[in-house]
Structure 1
Amino acid sequence: MQHSPCEVTRPQLLRLYAANLASAFIMGITVAAPITGAASMVALGASCLSEAGCSAPTFVDQLVPVIGVTAWALTSVNVGVLQIRTLRRMASVRPSPKLPIR
C-alpha cells in the first residue's frame, strides 16, 4: 500500500494562522487585564496620597492605559510568535513514507 503524505493546503494554513492569532490576542487580554487592574490600584493610591486628594488626577493616572495597552501588545506578540513558530514546525514536518505494521 502506498502512503501519501498529508499536506496542509493554503486555505487550511491561513485559517490556522488566523485562529492562532486570535488566540494570541485573547491571551494578551487575559494577561493585560490584571496588570491594568494593578496599575490602576497603584494610581488610585498615588492620587489619594497626593496633596490634592483622590479627586485630582496625577501623572501615574495617565500611565494606566499605557501600561494596559503595552502589556496586551507585548503578550499578544509574544504568544502569537510562539504559536506561529509551532504551527510552521508542525506544517513542515513530513510524515514517514514507511510506517511500521503492527
Structure 2
Amino acid sequence: MTEHSSQITFVRPGGVATKVFADGAETMRVCLGYLHDPDDGVLAEMNARHEPVPWQSAKVRDEAIGAVERRKDLDDETRSQLVEWIVATPYFEDA
C-alpha cells in the first residue's frame, strides 16, 4: 500500500509563509502580497525598519520588484524606496 501525505502551506496576507523542509522549517516571503498588511507587508516592514523577511528565491524577489515598478497606487518616492528595500533584502537560493 502506498502512503500519501499532504502538506498545506498558509500564506499570510503580506506574502509570508513558513515552509517545512525535511530538516526543519523556514519563514520566507513567497509573494509580494498586500503591501500595507500591518503584520508582514513589505511596505509596513520597510516603514518600521524591521528585519526584512527573506524572499523564497531570486525569481520571486525579482517578480516582486517588477510588480512594485508597475503599480499605479504608489507615489514615485515610495515606489523608489520600496524597490531599494526589496533589492537589499536577501533571498534563499533556488533549489
- With the length of structure 1 as denominator, give the TM-score of the two structures: 0.27
- With the length of structure 2 as denominator, give the TM-score of the two structures: 0.28
* Higher share in helix: 1
* Higher share in strand: 2
Task: Report the structure number with the largest CA radius of gyration.
Answer: 1
Higher RCO by CA contacts (8 Å cutoff, separation 6 or greater): 1
